[in-house]
Amino acid sequence: MNNPGERHMLQITGAAKSYNGQTVFSGLNLAVEREQFTVLVGPSGCGKSTLFDGLTGAIGLDRGRISWNHEILTHLGHHAAYMQQKDLLLPWFSLMENALLPAKTGKQDMVQMEPVAQKLFVRLGLNGYESHYPHEISGGMRQRCALVRTLMFNRDLILLDEPLSALDAITRRSLQSLLLLLQTAFKKTLLMITHDIEEALLLGDEVYLFSSQPMRIKERFVLDQPKPRLFSDPGLLKIKRHMLEQLEGAL
Protein backbone atom coordinates (compact mmCIF):
# COMPACT_ATOMS: atom_id res chain seq x y z
CA MET A 1 0.00 0.00 0.00
CA ASN A 2 3.01 2.25 -0.04
CA ASN A 3 2.67 2.83 -3.75
CA PRO A 4 1.65 6.50 -3.91
CA GLY A 5 -0.43 5.80 -7.00
CA GLU A 6 -2.86 3.85 -4.86
CA ARG A 7 -4.00 6.93 -3.01
CA HIS A 8 -4.26 9.14 -6.02
CA MET A 9 -7.51 9.14 -7.81
CA LEU A 10 -6.32 11.65 -10.36
CA GLN A 11 -2.78 12.16 -11.52
CA ILE A 12 -1.67 14.69 -14.09
CA THR A 13 1.83 14.27 -15.44
CA GLY A 14 3.76 16.60 -17.70
CA ALA A 15 0.75 18.63 -18.82
CA ALA A 16 1.56 21.34 -21.35
CA LYS A 17 -0.47 23.92 -23.23
CA SER A 18 0.51 26.93 -25.28
CA TYR A 19 -1.48 29.48 -27.23
CA ASN A 20 0.18 30.98 -30.31
CA GLY A 21 3.65 30.10 -29.08
CA GLN A 22 2.93 31.48 -25.63
CA THR A 23 3.42 28.73 -23.06
CA VAL A 24 0.62 28.75 -20.50
CA PHE A 25 2.17 25.78 -18.67
CA SER A 26 4.48 22.92 -19.43
CA GLY A 27 5.69 19.93 -17.47
CA LEU A 28 2.96 20.43 -14.91
CA ASN A 29 2.37 17.63 -12.41
CA LEU A 30 -0.54 17.40 -10.03
CA ALA A 31 -2.02 14.60 -7.98
CA VAL A 32 -5.39 14.56 -6.28
CA GLU A 33 -6.16 12.16 -3.50
CA ARG A 34 -9.48 10.43 -3.08
CA GLU A 35 -11.97 12.30 -0.89
CA GLN A 36 -9.55 15.15 -0.46
CA PHE A 37 -10.21 18.82 -0.98
CA THR A 38 -7.45 20.19 -3.21
CA VAL A 39 -7.36 23.91 -3.82
CA LEU A 40 -5.47 25.81 -6.52
CA VAL A 41 -4.53 29.43 -5.98
CA GLY A 42 -2.58 31.65 -8.36
CA PRO A 43 -2.40 35.07 -9.95
CA SER A 44 -5.09 36.00 -12.45
CA GLY A 45 -4.41 34.79 -15.97
CA CYS A 46 -1.79 32.25 -14.96
CA GLY A 47 -3.65 29.36 -16.59
CA LYS A 48 -5.75 27.66 -13.92
CA SER A 49 -8.95 27.64 -15.98
CA THR A 50 -6.95 26.49 -18.99
CA LEU A 51 -5.82 23.49 -16.96
CA PHE A 52 -9.45 22.71 -16.10
CA ASP A 53 -10.42 23.11 -19.75
CA GLY A 54 -7.81 20.51 -20.57
CA LEU A 55 -9.11 18.20 -17.83
CA THR A 56 -12.73 18.47 -18.92
CA GLY A 57 -11.81 18.11 -22.58
CA ALA A 58 -13.10 21.54 -23.55
CA ILE A 59 -9.66 22.04 -25.11
CA GLY A 60 -6.94 19.56 -25.96
CA LEU A 61 -3.70 19.67 -24.03
CA ASP A 62 -0.52 19.76 -26.13
CA ARG A 63 1.16 17.15 -23.97
CA GLY A 64 0.56 15.37 -20.73
CA ARG A 65 -0.91 12.27 -19.23
CA ILE A 66 -4.13 12.17 -17.27
CA SER A 67 -4.42 9.08 -15.16
CA TRP A 68 -7.70 8.29 -13.50
CA ASN A 69 -7.77 5.36 -11.08
CA HIS A 70 -4.71 4.02 -12.94
CA GLU A 71 -6.43 4.33 -16.25
CA ILE A 72 -4.94 6.69 -18.85
CA LEU A 73 -7.55 9.05 -20.31
CA THR A 74 -7.47 11.88 -22.83
CA HIS A 75 -9.81 13.87 -20.58
CA LEU A 76 -12.13 13.44 -17.61
CA GLY A 77 -15.25 14.04 -19.68
CA HIS A 78 -17.36 11.31 -18.15
CA HIS A 79 -15.73 11.04 -14.74
CA ALA A 80 -15.95 14.55 -13.34
CA ALA A 81 -18.62 17.11 -12.66
CA TYR A 82 -17.79 20.73 -13.29
CA MET A 83 -19.01 23.95 -11.79
CA GLN A 84 -17.96 27.48 -12.59
CA GLN A 85 -18.40 31.04 -11.45
CA LYS A 86 -21.38 31.31 -13.82
CA ASP A 87 -24.22 29.10 -12.64
CA LEU A 88 -25.14 28.14 -16.23
CA LEU A 89 -28.73 27.42 -15.27
CA LEU A 90 -31.03 27.12 -18.27
CA PRO A 91 -33.58 29.94 -18.11
CA TRP A 92 -36.33 27.86 -19.75
CA PHE A 93 -36.21 25.18 -17.06
CA SER A 94 -37.41 25.39 -13.48
CA LEU A 95 -34.86 24.84 -10.71
CA MET A 96 -35.89 21.20 -10.34
CA GLU A 97 -35.71 20.61 -14.10
CA ASN A 98 -32.27 22.19 -14.12
CA ALA A 99 -31.13 20.01 -11.25
CA LEU A 100 -32.44 16.86 -12.92
CA LEU A 101 -30.80 17.61 -16.24
CA PRO A 102 -27.63 15.52 -15.69
CA ALA A 103 -29.80 12.58 -14.63
CA LYS A 104 -31.95 12.98 -17.73
CA THR A 105 -29.10 13.36 -20.23
CA GLY A 106 -27.12 10.62 -18.48
CA LYS A 107 -30.11 8.28 -18.91
CA GLN A 108 -30.31 7.65 -15.20
CA ASP A 109 -33.43 6.22 -13.64
CA MET A 110 -35.63 9.28 -13.08
CA VAL A 111 -37.96 7.59 -10.59
CA GLN A 112 -34.93 7.01 -8.43
CA MET A 113 -33.22 10.35 -9.05
CA GLU A 114 -36.12 12.71 -8.35
CA PRO A 115 -36.25 11.98 -4.61
CA VAL A 116 -32.46 12.36 -4.53
CA ALA A 117 -32.74 15.83 -6.05
CA GLN A 118 -35.62 16.64 -3.72
CA LYS A 119 -33.48 15.72 -0.70
CA LEU A 120 -30.65 17.89 -1.98
CA PHE A 121 -33.06 20.81 -2.39
CA VAL A 122 -34.00 20.45 1.26
CA ARG A 123 -30.40 20.06 2.32
CA LEU A 124 -29.28 23.18 0.46
CA GLY A 125 -32.28 25.21 1.57
CA LEU A 126 -33.99 25.37 -1.80
CA ASN A 127 -37.16 23.51 -0.85
CA GLY A 128 -40.24 25.39 -1.91
CA TYR A 129 -38.44 26.80 -4.92
CA GLU A 130 -38.50 23.66 -7.10
CA SER A 131 -40.83 25.13 -9.69
CA HIS A 132 -39.33 28.62 -9.67
CA TYR A 133 -37.34 29.80 -12.67
CA PRO A 134 -33.71 30.95 -12.42
CA HIS A 135 -34.57 34.62 -13.04
CA GLU A 136 -36.91 34.56 -10.07
CA ILE A 137 -34.27 33.78 -7.44
CA SER A 138 -31.13 35.37 -6.03
CA GLY A 139 -27.56 34.76 -7.17
CA GLY A 140 -26.77 32.73 -4.07
CA MET A 141 -29.79 30.49 -4.63
CA ARG A 142 -28.88 30.06 -8.28
CA GLN A 143 -25.42 28.93 -7.28
CA ARG A 144 -26.89 26.52 -4.75
CA CYS A 145 -29.09 25.11 -7.52
CA ALA A 146 -25.99 24.76 -9.70
CA LEU A 147 -24.42 22.90 -6.79
CA VAL A 148 -27.37 20.48 -6.66
CA ARG A 149 -27.03 19.94 -10.40
CA THR A 150 -23.30 19.31 -9.99
CA LEU A 151 -24.09 16.64 -7.41
CA MET A 152 -26.68 15.11 -9.72
CA PHE A 153 -23.89 14.32 -12.18
CA ASN A 154 -23.29 11.47 -9.77
CA ARG A 155 -19.53 11.58 -10.29
CA ASP A 156 -16.79 11.04 -7.72
CA LEU A 157 -14.67 14.02 -8.72
CA ILE A 158 -15.93 17.59 -8.79
CA LEU A 159 -14.01 20.39 -10.47
CA LEU A 160 -14.85 23.84 -9.18
CA ASP A 161 -13.61 26.96 -10.98
CA GLU A 162 -14.14 29.91 -8.66
CA PRO A 163 -17.62 28.62 -7.83
CA LEU A 164 -18.39 31.32 -5.28
CA SER A 165 -16.50 34.35 -6.53
CA ALA A 166 -19.59 36.06 -7.96
CA LEU A 167 -21.31 36.06 -4.58
CA ASP A 168 -21.31 38.53 -1.71
CA ALA A 169 -19.17 37.74 1.32
CA ILE A 170 -22.00 36.52 3.55
CA THR A 171 -23.57 34.23 0.96
CA ARG A 172 -20.10 32.97 0.13
CA ARG A 173 -19.45 31.93 3.74
CA SER A 174 -22.66 29.93 3.90
CA LEU A 175 -21.95 28.25 0.56
CA GLN A 176 -18.43 27.40 1.69
CA SER A 177 -19.90 25.19 4.37
CA LEU A 178 -22.01 23.52 1.69
CA LEU A 179 -18.85 22.83 -0.32
CA LEU A 180 -17.41 21.24 2.78
CA LEU A 181 -20.53 19.11 2.93
CA LEU A 182 -19.70 17.72 -0.51
CA GLN A 183 -16.53 16.30 0.96
CA THR A 184 -17.77 15.17 4.36
CA ALA A 185 -21.33 14.00 3.67
CA PHE A 186 -21.15 13.06 -0.01
CA LYS A 187 -17.59 11.70 -0.02
CA LYS A 188 -16.66 13.61 -3.12
CA THR A 189 -13.14 14.38 -4.24
CA LEU A 190 -12.82 18.08 -4.90
CA LEU A 191 -10.45 20.15 -6.99
CA MET A 192 -11.18 23.83 -6.67
CA ILE A 193 -9.75 27.04 -8.09
CA THR A 194 -10.18 30.16 -5.99
CA HIS A 195 -8.83 33.66 -5.57
CA ASP A 196 -9.98 33.82 -2.00
CA ILE A 197 -7.05 32.74 0.16
CA GLU A 198 -9.22 32.46 3.25
CA GLU A 199 -11.55 30.17 1.36
CA ALA A 200 -8.59 28.05 0.28
CA LEU A 201 -7.32 27.75 3.83
CA LEU A 202 -10.73 27.07 5.36
CA LEU A 203 -11.57 24.28 2.93
CA GLY A 204 -8.39 22.82 1.53
CA ASP A 205 -6.58 19.72 2.66
CA GLU A 206 -3.92 20.60 0.16
CA VAL A 207 -3.41 24.05 -1.28
CA TYR A 208 -1.26 24.66 -4.32
CA LEU A 209 0.13 28.10 -4.99
CA PHE A 210 0.88 28.70 -8.65
CA SER A 211 3.25 31.18 -10.22
CA SER A 212 2.24 33.52 -13.02
CA GLN A 213 2.73 32.43 -16.63
CA PRO A 214 4.23 30.00 -17.48
CA MET A 215 2.28 28.45 -14.65
CA ARG A 216 4.15 26.16 -12.31
CA ILE A 217 3.67 25.02 -8.74
CA LYS A 218 5.38 27.52 -6.51
CA GLU A 219 4.44 26.01 -3.21
CA ARG A 220 2.28 23.27 -1.76
CA PHE A 221 0.68 23.49 1.66
CA VAL A 222 -0.70 20.50 3.49
CA LEU A 223 -3.30 21.57 6.03
CA ASP A 224 -4.28 19.04 8.64
CA GLN A 225 -6.29 21.33 10.89
CA PRO A 226 -9.69 19.70 11.51
CA LYS A 227 -12.67 21.14 9.69
CA PRO A 228 -14.79 23.20 10.05
CA ARG A 229 -11.93 25.59 10.66
CA LEU A 230 -11.85 28.98 12.21
CA PHE A 231 -9.76 31.65 10.70
CA SER A 232 -8.35 32.70 14.04
CA ASP A 233 -6.07 29.64 13.92
CA PRO A 234 -2.56 31.13 14.15
CA GLY A 235 -1.16 28.47 11.81
CA LEU A 236 -3.64 29.44 9.09
CA LEU A 237 -3.01 33.14 9.58
CA LYS A 238 0.69 32.57 9.13
CA ILE A 239 0.15 30.68 5.88
CA LYS A 240 -2.23 33.37 4.68
CA ARG A 241 0.34 36.12 5.24
CA HIS A 242 2.94 34.05 3.47
CA MET A 243 0.68 33.36 0.49
CA LEU A 244 -0.31 37.00 0.17
CA GLU A 245 3.36 37.98 0.08
CA GLN A 246 4.02 35.38 -2.58
CA LEU A 247 1.05 36.52 -4.69
CA GLU A 248 1.97 40.17 -4.41
CA GLY A 249 5.51 39.33 -5.36
CA ALA A 250 4.20 37.62 -8.48
CA LEU A 251 2.46 40.76 -9.74
Partner 1 sequence: MKLIDFIPAVLVAIILGLWEGATRFMEIPIFILPPPSSIFTTAVVKAPLILPHAATTFSEIILGIFMALGTAVPLAIIMFAKPALEKTLAPFLVASQAIPVFAIAPLLVVWLGYGIASKVFMAWIIIFFPITISLLSGLKSCDPEFRVLFRLMGASFYDTLRWLYWPWALPQFFAGLKVGVTVATIGAVIGEWVGAQQGLGYLMIQSNARLQVDLVFAAILWLTAMGLGLWILVGVVENRIIKWKV
Count of residues interacting with ligand ATP (CB under 6 A): 10
Residue 213 in the binding site for Mg ion (CB under 5 A): no
CB of 44 to ligand ATP, least distance (A): 3
Site string for ligand ATP, 50-79 (x = CB under 6 A): x-----------------------------
- Per CB under 8 A, the list member of 88, 110, 122, 237 interacting with partner 1 is 88
| Interface with partner 1 (CB under 8 A), residue from 49, 56, 118, 165 | 56
**In whole angstroms, how close is the CB of 8 to ligand ATP at the nearest point?**
23
The H or E element that residue 235 is part of is helix 234-250
14: three-class secondary structure by DSSP = strand
82 binds, among Mg ion, ligand ATP, partner 1, none (CB under 5 to 8 A by kind): partner 1
| Binding-site member from 45, 60, 228, 249 for ligand ATP (CB under 6 A) | 45
From the list 11, 42, 45, 44, the residue with the least C-alpha distance to 28 is 11
- What is the strand order of the sheet 22-33 is part of? 22-33, 8-19, 63-68, 71-73
DSSP, residue by residue, 67-107? EETTEEES--TTTEEEEESS----TTS-HHHHHHHHHHHTT
Give backbone dihedrals phi and psi of 138, rounded to 5 degrees, phi first. Answer: -80, 165
Cα separation, 37 vs 35, whole angstroms: 7
- Of 62, 72, 53, nearest to 11 (Cα)? 72
Note whether 106 binds partner 1 by CB under 8 A.
yes
- Coil, strand or helix at 214: coil
Q: Which of the residues 4 through 43 are near ligand ATP (CB under 6 A)?
A: 19, 24, 42
Half-sphere exposure of 207 (CA within 13 A, CB side): 23
49 lies in the site for ligand ATP, by CB under 6 A: yes
Site residues for Mg ion, window 32-51 (CB under 5 A)? Answer: 49
Q: Where does this chain bind Mg ion (CB under 5 A)?
A: 49
Q: Where does this chain bind partner 1 (CB under 8 A)?
A: 56-58, 77-78, 80-82, 84, 86, 88, 90-93, 101-102, 104-106, 133, 135, 153
Q: Where does this chain bind ligand ATP (CB under 6 A)?
A: 19, 24, 42, 44-50
